[in-house]
Amino acid sequence: MASSSFDSLLQKCTALPHIKQLQAHLITTGIFQYSPCRTKLLELCALSPAGDLSFAALIFRHFQFPSTNEWNALIRGLAQSSEPTKAITCYRTMAREFHKPDALTCSFALKACARALALLEAKQIQSHIYRHGFLADVLLQTTLLDVYAKTGNIDSAQYVFDEMSKRDVATWNALIAGLAQGSRLSEAIALFHRMRVEEGMKPNEITVLGALSACSQLGALREGERIHSYIRDEKLDMNVQVCNVVIDMYAKCGFVDKAYWVFENMSCRKSVVTWNTMIMAFAMHGDGVKALELFDKMGQTGVRQDAVTYLAALCGCNHAGLVEDGVQLFNSMAGCGVTPNVKHYGSVVDLLGRAGRLEEAYEIINSMPMVPDVVLWQSLLGACKTYGNVDMAEIASRKLVEMGSNSCGDFVLLSNVYAAHERWDDVGRVREAMKNRDVKKLPGFSYIEVEGVIHKFLNGDQSHSNWREIYGKLDEIRFRIKAHGYVAGTSFVLHDIGEEDKENALCYHSEKLAVAFGLISASEGTPIQVIKNLRICGDCHAMIKLISKIYDREIIVRDRARFHRFKEGSCSCRDYW
């Protein structure tokens, strides 16, 4: 059969029966085992929408002497499938049968490793790459870098990157994304600027997504604004995914108004993700009313709300204390064709718990059609700590132990419930259990960006080069706020120690150190932005409210759960968090 006529027949194959008919023709004419047409047939079956991967594998098994191209077609198809580990197995089989892989074979197998997060197998394939002399292949090096980045082996990714004689945009993108995903955030941002300024390369949509992700996690507003400026200059904001991440960046850097400006002025069509991102932004900033307004507006524009939309709106109700609105929204889900999942139940349990309606929250947990997760019981335990309900705290704590939770927060919450009632024997019992289980308390830390530089503080930190000046500023702050009626919230240090020791334990929380440093270092009139890994404590909250008034500074604190915007002596959370 002539190649041109066969190619014409291939183009007409729009379904698997057509492929089978063509295969039958090759078999009956006796040329199936020897014709180059069979390679094209296999590629069609393994890679096209009309094909079927299991049938492609069946065809392949009947090849007496499969060529490298035929191995590649099957490995590539398997790498793209829902079971990429089969591509790695196929690659190993090829090597055992003494078929020499080419650069494409290694590339497809590495892509399977990236999808399966198979680090060990990727290292083995890398040794084959060295052995077969494929290291100069830029595409192959890029794929290898991508595997290491996605599996969290950033040092190996960096090594591959540094060893490359030529780097294209996809190389740079893989490392920036890997650094962002691996919490090496400052390095990801620095690499973006090195790529653009020092190397003179042009970042694309994927590049800015990785860099903006790092800015979001770090709260690096200035860097995020620079990247946004580049996006506008290069018209990358025609991409809806880029716009979504810009919205998310501004929201997570503490500026929901800037996020909303981007949302309102998008030149591309808003997706469901766009709406969800903006609703969640309002929710995390404590503006439940706007979150609900946007939820309604979304429905009016014809964009159907999904499970994520409902979760974002419920979070808005949760953080703003809109209890009845939240309960009504939760109850309406099923009628709108959205089945509540465990996160929706968790949100409404937290909503009721924060409002002190512990019995209702407990009843909802017991009525769930699925098994409650750890987060649900932790939410209830947290509410029990807030409202001092010892009996229900013990129920929640037992459930968490039964589920195998070993979080220090679970033990600390129960200990705090006991301590609030001065049940020190029970506090000691909880601490002993923590020691026996080798439970480590997560250290509190806070970040602050000043002049493009990120500064990190731990509780009681004296490692900063300006620590004496920072501590001196804190002494000044304490003196000034006491004149405005501040009394240390020693109830937040629930240990059987004296009041003076409790006050000293509160003085040097990481967020206080960060705010003091911000007052010293940030330009007059600019907002002070702090990111904390844990929830802000009540004493720090009260103290920062007074600082915002006395020093006439806007202070934005992003804790583990939400944003607190302090201005003129009040907070955006309205003391409900």
452-477 pLDDT, tens digit each: 788 999 988 899 999 999 999 999 99
Query: Confidence band (pLDDT; 50, 70, 90) for 178?
Result: very high
d(CA 461, CA 508): 8
**What is the average pLDDT across 435-454?**
85
Q: How many other CB atoms are found less than 10 A from the CB of residue 489?
A: 17
Number of domains in the chain: 1
| Cβ(493)–Cβ(502) below 8 Å | yes
Task: Give which of 288, 276, 293 is closest to 319, Cα–Cα.
Answer: 288
Record the pTM.
0.82
Token reading at 479: 């003196």
The dihedrals phi and psi of 437, each to the nearest 5 degrees, come to: -90, 0
pLDDT attached to residue 500: 46
114-159 tens-digit pLDDT:
999 999 999 999 988 888 888 778 888 889 999 999 888 999 999 9
For residue 245, being part of any structural domain is answered with no
pLDDT attached to residue 501: 46
Task: Give which of 445, 507, 434 is closest to 471, Cα–Cα.
Answer: 507
Q: What percent of the chain has pLDDT over 70?
A: 91
pLDDT attached to residue 236: 96
SS (H, E, C) 97-144: CCCCCCHHHHHHHHHHHHHHCCHHHHHHHHHHHHHHCCCCCHHHHHHH
**What is the average pLDDT across 339-347?**
95
Query: Confidence band (pLDDT; 50, 70, 90) for 13?
Result: low
Amino acid at 294: L
For residue 434, being part of any structural domain is answered with no
d(CA 122, CA 117): 9
For residue 197, being part of any structural domain is answered with no
- 499, pLDDT greater than 50: no
21-64 tens-digit pLDDT:
766 766 666 666 666 677 877 877 787 776 688 888 888 888 87
Token reading at 20: 């089978």
Q: How many other CB atoms are found less than 10 A from the CB of residue 34?
A: 11
From first CA to last CA, the distance across the chain in angstroms is 75
Residue 540 belongs to domain spanning? 445-571
**What is the average pLDDT across 203-218?**
95
- 165, pLDDT greater than 50: yes
For residue 476, being part of any structural domain is answered with yes
Which residues 6+ apart lie within 8 Å of 2 measured at CB? none
For residue 59, being part of any structural domain is answered with no
For residue 520, being part of any structural domain is answered with yes
* Beta-strand relationship, 555-558 and 453-458: unpaired
477-498 tens-digit pLDDT:
999 998 888 887 555 454 444 4
H helix intervals, 445-498: 467-482
For residue 217, being part of any structural domain is answered with no
* Beta-strand relationship, 555-558 and 563-567: antiparallel
Q: What is the mean pLDDT of the chain?
A: 88
Which residues 6+ apart lie within 8 Å of 486 measured at CB? 478, 542, 543, 546
pLDDT attached to residue 29: 66
d(CA 422, CA 410): 19
For residue 157, being part of any structural domain is answered with no
